[in-house]
Amino acid sequence: MPDTRQLLSRREREVMDVLYRRGEATVTEVMEDLKEPPTYSAVRSILRILKEKGQIIHRADGPRYVYAPAVGLDRARKAALDHVVNTFFDGSAEQVLAALLDRSDLDLNDAQIRRLTKAIRQAGEEGR
């Protein structure tokens, strides 16, 4: 399993974002989705580095390679969220929820508030 805590450069994160959005992509497809993409060889280098870091896998498709994340999106989300919660909120779910609710751009409707309230209540009943 790749170490999803390993720090990635800005460009590496951008490439990973493309791969998670698309599911898989060639170098050319990655370039199409990047804002101000670097050269073809630079994107290939970024993909090689991501492969060395264990973040992506690839398969041959004729003369080209197709790249994909080595870890599924749900697992990557959980690892990223765990890192943020532990690093910036001292492991406190309460602090995270308070920070989210404090956002000025947060616009929850009544149904969303009911679902969140139910999820919080259920987590408490389950001892989480």
Question: What letter represents residue 94's amino acid?
Answer: E
Contact present, 12 and 42 (Cβ < 8 Å): no
According to CATH, where is 1.10.10.10 located in the chain? 1-88
> Per-residue confidence of the chain (128 residues) as pLDDT tens digits?
444 446 789 999 999 999 999 999 999 999 999 999 999 999 999 999 999 999 999 999 999 999 999 988 888 888 888 989 999 999 998 899 889 888 878 888 899 989 989 998 998 888 87
Contact present, 70 and 53 (Cβ < 8 Å): no
Question: What letter represents residue 40's amino acid?
Answer: Y
Q: What is the pTM of this model?
A: 0.69
Q: Which fold has domain 1-88?
A: Arc Repressor Mutant, subunit A (1.10.10)
Q: How distant, in Å, are the alpha carbons of 85, 97, 106, 108, 116 from that of 103? A: 16, 10, 5, 11, 16
Instruction: Find the helix or strand (DSSP H, E) in which 23 lies.
Output: none
Cβ neighbour number for residue 67 with a 10 Å cutoff:
26
List CB contacts of 96: < 8 A, sequence separation 6 or more. Answer: 84, 85, 89
